[in-house]
Amino acid sequence: MKMSVPAVAVWGRRAPSHSITAILITDDQQTIVTGSQEGQICLWDLSSDLKVSSKEILFGHTASVTCLAKARE
């Protein structure tokens, strides 16, 4: 069984930087994927009324994420 955990951001007076360097929208147009200069990949939910909310943030890259691509099935 696959379990999903919502993204929770906790920080002090200022939010961490996420300088977007790459963006991808899924074929179903319900998820936006962004890559950042800080090496993060973020997944965002896009609702039918065009509201964006955070879904997940992926850490681990040691350099900027400058390109995103969909995997083939």
Helix or strand (DSSP H, E) at 52? strand 52-58
**How big is the chain by its Cα radius of gyration, in Å?**
13
Confidence of residue 21 (pLDDT cuts 50, 70, 90): very high
Q: Quick one: average pLDDT of 17-40?
A: 90
Model-wide pTM > 0.75: no
**What is the torsional sign of CA 60, 65, 55, 25?**
negative
Residues 1-16 have pLDDT tens digits of 566 656 565 666 666 6
- Nearest CA to 62 among 36, 42, 43, 44? 36
Rounded to whole angstroms, the Cα distance separating 39 from 62 reads 6
